[in-house]
């Protein structure tokens, strides 16, 4: 290092930004002198923050009844996995399948789609590694790929890709396993092999290997991934015959069907008509434009993840009209904010943190997205809405955390929470006004891989 070069202040011993001891003593004295602060300390050190800060006016003033409620079934349970997007999608499809089958309770195999999602994403990852092989390994894009080469998360379009290509099977034909219900160890083994494969593929590209040689090595690694998945999750059925009794006692049996044939026969929803609508209020992301996120996907050659950014009143109106028409709504949100799991309640003001800490929390939705304070973390299903004077005031939510959470697995979302923490719904395109339907044809703006709009798939 030359004499003209300087080091960052944190490593050079520069005291200009240091925190003086006398300032710390002053902070302590100020805290101890305030009886409200001491009372808060006494409460929070002995009791959970959620209990101390719970806004009883909200918690016990919320009615859990709805003018429209579609659900008369039990909830599902994703267990210790990040498959919420998949469970929410399958819960929507089983709503249609129940009518086709004439049954009250029915589940598609979540494990079946999980298997195919993992192998497809391994291939997607390897293709991205080959495509980015000319970048340095510490390039931010490559580092992003290597940081999370495979996870349980996903998006609506990724769900549709799996159903279109691989179909569906009843849960009885590929039930849950230990690893499908608790995926951490399996995912760790898979990530190990994917990173190993990434290094080998990048080395081959650096040495100038032919495309067919690179492809052969990729296929070898995919064979290993398939073997690992089969050991953990079981082998997906290729054909099966399904028999059942309907709610009237009538007996039914199908001929032998492939999973693709089963999906086509019993899922009476026009999946090609659904589009992803998001509310992204960041100033640089205009409403009425389409967006995608680089390296967000699972099936190579499948449908791209494309969002149409719309304003919140329109998003809520589309969700309300869909429920009024008798169909649940898939949606993505930041579930960990202002939510009480045991009560099954979501409200913008559920926890009264400002008076507890004697401070204000001033980031709005756009700023929270920009500064990393919020992102899509969970997908669920709207199954009801309470409407007064043609305006929704609360929403009924089917979660996938089992029947012990909330009200037998269902949650109540007050409308204020929808505004602040809901980001996305899947809806039929004909719910949009003509100008926004036309906007769906625009080539999407490409957001970087680490953008919060891609967080649900991580």
Q: Which residue numbers are catalytic?
A: 84, 378, 399
Q: Which of 227, 332, 192, 343 is nearest to 276 (CA)?
A: 332
d(CA 266, CA 175): 19
d(CA 382, CA 95): 12
What is the DSSP secondary-structure string of 377-392?
-EEEEEEEEEEETTEE
Element (H, E) at 99: helix 84-101
Tokens of 207: 């040495």
d(CA 159, CA 121): 12
Apex 455 CA angle, 415 and 380, nearest 5: 40
Tokens of 60: 């016990």
84 contacts 78 by C-beta, under 8 angstroms: yes
Beta strands (DSSP E) in 279-324 are 290-293, 307-309
Show Cβ contacts of residue 122 under 8 Å, excluding neighbours closer than 6 positions.
Answer: 150, 190, 194, 221, 222, 225
């Amino acid at each position: 290092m030359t004499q003209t070069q300087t080091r960052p202040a944190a490593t050079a011993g520069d005291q200009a930004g240091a925190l003086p001891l006398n300032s710390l003593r002053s902070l302590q004295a100020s805290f101890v002198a305030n009886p409200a602060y001491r009372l808060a300390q006494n409460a929070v050190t002995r009791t959970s923050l959620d209990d101390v800060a719970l806004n009883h006016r909200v918690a016990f003033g919320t009615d859990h009844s709805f003018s429209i409620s579609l659900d008369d079934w039990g909830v599902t349970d994703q267990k210790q996995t990040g498959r919420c997007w998949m469970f929410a999608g399958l819960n929507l499809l089983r709503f249609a399948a129940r009518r086709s089958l004439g049954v009250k309770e029915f589940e598609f195999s979540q494990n079946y789609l999980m298997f195919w999602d993992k192998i497809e994403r391994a291939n997607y990852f390897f293709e991205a590694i080959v495509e980015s092989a000319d970048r340095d390994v510490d390039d931010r894009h490559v580092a992003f790929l290597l940081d999370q080469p495979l996870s349980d998360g996903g998006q609506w379009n990724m769900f549709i890709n799996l159903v279109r290509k691989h179909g569906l099977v009843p849960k009885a034909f590929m039930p849950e396993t230990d690893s499908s219900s608790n995926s951490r160890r399996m995912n760790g083994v898979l990530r190990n092999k994917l990173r190993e494969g990434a290094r080998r593929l990048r080395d081959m590209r650096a040495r100038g290997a032919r495309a067919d040689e690179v492809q052969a090595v990729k296929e070898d690694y995919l064979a290993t991934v398939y073997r690992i998945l089969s050991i953990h999750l079981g082998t997906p059925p290729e054909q099966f015959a399904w028999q059942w009794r309907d709610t009237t006692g009538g007996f039914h049996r199908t001929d032998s069907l492939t999973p693709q044939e089963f999906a086509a026969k019993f899922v009476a929803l026009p999946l090609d008509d659904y589009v992803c609508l998001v509310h992204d209020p960041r100033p640089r992301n205009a409403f009425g434009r389409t967006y995608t996120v680089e390296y967000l996907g699972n099936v190579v050659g499948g449908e791209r993840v494309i969002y149409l950014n719309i304003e919140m009143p329109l998003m809520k109106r589309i969700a309300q009209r869909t429920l009024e028409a008798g169909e649940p709504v898939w949606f993505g949100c930041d579930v960990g904010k202002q939510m009480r799991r045991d009560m099954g309640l979501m409200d913008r003001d559920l926890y009264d943190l400002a008076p507890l800490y004697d401070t204000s929390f001033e980031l709005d939705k756009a700023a929270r997205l920009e500064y990393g304070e919020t992102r899509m973390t969970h997908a669920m299903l709207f199954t009801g809405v309470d409407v007064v004077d043609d305006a929704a005031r609360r929403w009924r939510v089917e979660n996938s955390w089992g029947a012990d959470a909330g009200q037998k697995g269902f949650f109540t979302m007050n409308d204020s929470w929808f505004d602040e923490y809901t980001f996305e719904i899947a809806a039929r395109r004909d719910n949009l006004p003509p100008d926004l339907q036309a906007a769906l044809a625009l080539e999407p703006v490409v957001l970087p891989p680490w953008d919060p709009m891609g967080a649900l798939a991580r």
